[in-house]
Structure 1
Amino acid sequence: MKAGIIGCGSIARFRHAPEYKANEHISEIVFYDRNPERAERLAAMFDGTVAGSVDDMLEDPDIKVVSDCSSNENHPIFSTQALLHGKHVLCEKPISLTVEDASKIIDAQKKSGTVLMVDHNQRFTRAHQKAREIVQSGELGKVLTFRTTFGHKGPEHWGINKSNSTWFFKKERSGFGVAGDLGIHKLDLIHYLMEDEIVKISALQGALDKVDEQGKPIEVCDNIVATMQTKKGCLGTASFSWTYYGEEDNSTILYCEKGIIKIYHHPAYQLEVIHSNGEKVHYQLEKMQTNDDQTNTGVINAFINCVQSSRKPLASGEDALISLRVVLAMLDSAETGHAITISS
């Protein structure tokens, strides 16, 4: 079958396109971007073709799967249209900028009966999946507290145009700044690792260092920190940043009744388990995906497997909506100065 990609920025170039190209079930990739040159560039790189419009792509009966790699504000438009055209959709995160729009996408999936998966790719790393297994096994008892962080030097170094004019810095397009770019990954990961949900959150945010193309502070946060409580009573902290200029940090630590699980914290081991008696168990599982070191995330393979088997995806629209509610509450808390209780 053929795959379509809407939006030809860096996420399409470095993640979606090469993983579709490597998948044995994909015969061709069709690219669309509002900037035709970007689509043509990726089509040349991956032996694909270019669609003249989104409608052309969605009306092609041979295109069975579509990746929505457009900017955040467009997900409710393109993902909804693709689903209602009978396409299986892999939507980039965040699923949308509002609960209402996210619900529209989910409703379109239910109406179409096709697969909707959201690219919360941290669920797919071997270290995170192994950590979840350890939590589920109960060998360390229940999780009591946690801390997580995700930061790098900013989207102007990652995005397609490599400049401070990046859409990530624009309120009307990005919506959430670093909270929606990096933070939502880790909030979703906490839900996944602990089979739990964040229900209360308090946060502080700032545009501490980033400036736009006019040299003015950006319209969204480049740093946000939060404290939170889960439905099961766990307490945790989180920090998300576009100003980690020395190196990326993508680590999470779970503090349990009988020990500690450290994920992407040790320089040599992706997972480290420290038992309460001091015994340490180290796991070398895979390299962590970073902006500077792209590896296959396994997301496209998982998506195609769901399409072929009609299985529920590991990161569903409903999962994405839960994490979106947390991001919205985090930003609400940062803006109002109050702790926010999250209602479902």
Structure 2
Amino acid sequence: MHKVRVGVIGCGSIAQKRHLPEYRENVHTEIAGVVDLVQSRADDMASLYQTKSYTDYKELLLDEEVDAISVCLPNYLHASVTIDALNAGKHVLCEKPMATSREEAEAMILTAADNNKTLMIAHNQRFVSSHQKAKKILDSGELGKVYSFKTTFGHSGPENWSIDGRDSWFFNKQEAFIGALGDLGVHKSDLIRYLLGEVDQVGAFIDTSAKTDTKVDDNAICMLKMKSGVIGSLAASWSYTGGSDNSTIIYAENGVLLIENDPEYPLIVNYSNGETVKYQLKKIQSNEAGGQSTTHVIDHFIESLVLNKEPLINGGEGMKSLQVILGALESNEKGAFITL
């Protein structure tokens, strides 16, 4: 089989730190082209990865030798560009959050089905070693009934890692649609669904308290009730100025799971009988030094294409994780709990 020829649309930080280097490392992949509205940025990446550069993504989509596309664009463009790529006969890996509305997400899923193409959403938390191990422990039933949880993703904000800094689209309400909740919170809604099943109800307080001159949220606290009846909290923030937090704690009958909560051990289980088990696992990926080197998202996407199998996070999964966030926005607006 020939190598999967991939085009990357958008050459910002996520493409430069994740998609492009991880495609280059994948033996089944060839980078067939890069697109960015900023010509010099596209040219720089094309030169670095020895490929073609474009400023108009539609030109790249005309290339019949391109098999798949990574959509690494501001949130408001995810749906339209993904749909164009699928209609051009390309498989698509789209960055999260997959869309800015349920309608957009449904249109993306429908277009993928109509064209018989793969649509995957780039949620990486399911591939983290500690999260996979935690799921095995939970699924085994050894911890008994799950009582509650808290899951958090916070750092000091995208101005510190986005290619355009404080001028980034992340702070532009029209382009971003949502702030910390869409950037970080949707990772955690995907993770908690992976670990504990579907979310039934959501209530939220969402605020802009840390960043000035922007209308996007930078702090969100959500209360979730799972279909199983388990209740817990989800926090997303761009105001953690003294470092980042990417932890999840699950409280159960026979013990407590501490996930990504300790600098040395990615997973610790404190059993109610007094026993403690500490797992030495691969570190979670982060944009800071010493983080995990790969997200596994690219490898999983390519593997699903090579083996012609459905990816773990398809459009339907991406939409369910998005709906938790959309529900949180609605809850904050109405001052009421929202049933999903």
Bin the TM-score by the shorter chain.
over 0.9
Q: Report 1:254-293 matches (<5 A).
A: 254-293=250-289
Cα shift readout 1:148-202 (whole Å, capped 9, x = no counterpart): 100011011111112x2211111111111111000000011000012x1111111
2:42 corresponds to which residue?
39
Q: For residues 226 and 79 of structure 2, what CA distance do their matches in structure 1 show?
A: 28
Identity of aligned residues (%): 42
Pairing partner for 2:168 from 166, 173, 185 = 166
Task: Return the letter of the residue paired with 2:297.
Answer: V
Let me know the Cα RMSD of the aligned residues.
1.1
Distance (whole Å) between structure 2 residues aligned to residue 278 and residue 46 of structure 1: 53
* DSSP-derived class of the 1:141 partner: coil
Q: Is the 8 A contact 1:29 1:46 kept in 2?
A: no
Whether the 8 Å CA contact 1:92–1:118 is kept in 2: the answer is: yes
Q: Deviations over 1:255-303 (max 9, x none)?
A: 1121111110011100111111011111111122112235211111110
Aligned to 2:234: 238
Count of matched residue pairs: 335
Q: Matched residue of 2:159: which SS?
A: coil
Question: Given the alignment of the two structures, is residue 150 of structure 1 paired with residue 123 of structure 2, yes or no?
Answer: no
Aligned to 1:75: 78
* 2:42–2:55 CA contact under 8 A, matched in 1: no
Q: Is the 8 A contact 1:17 1:29 kept in 2?
A: no
Report the residue type matching 1:222 in the other structure.
Answer: D
Find the aligned partners of 2:48 and 2:276 in 1 and give their Cα distance.
45
1:184 equivalent in alignment to 2:189: no
Is 2:314 the counterpart of 1:316? Answer: yes
TM-score normalised by L of structure 2 = 0.96
The separation in 2 between residues aligned to 1:142 and 1:176, in whole angstroms, is 34
Q: What stretches of structure 2 of length at least 5 have no aligned partner?
A: none
1:22 to 11, 25, 38: 25
| Alignment equivalent of 2:331, drawn from 322, 330, 333 | 333
- Return the letter of the residue paired with 2:238: W
Question: Counterpart in 1 of 2:210?
Answer: 209
Q: Of residues 107, 112, 115 in structure 1, which corresponds to 2:110?
A: 107
| Matched position secondary structure for 1:330 | helix
Gaps of 5+ in 1: none
CA contact (8 A) 2:129 2:283 kept: no
**Cα distance in 1 between the residues matched to 2:58 and 2:206:** 39
What code does the residue aligned with 1:17 have? L
The residue identity in structure 1 corresponding to 2:231 is L
Aligned to 2:220: 224
Mapped to 1, the partners of 2:270 and 2:89 lie a distance apart of: 48
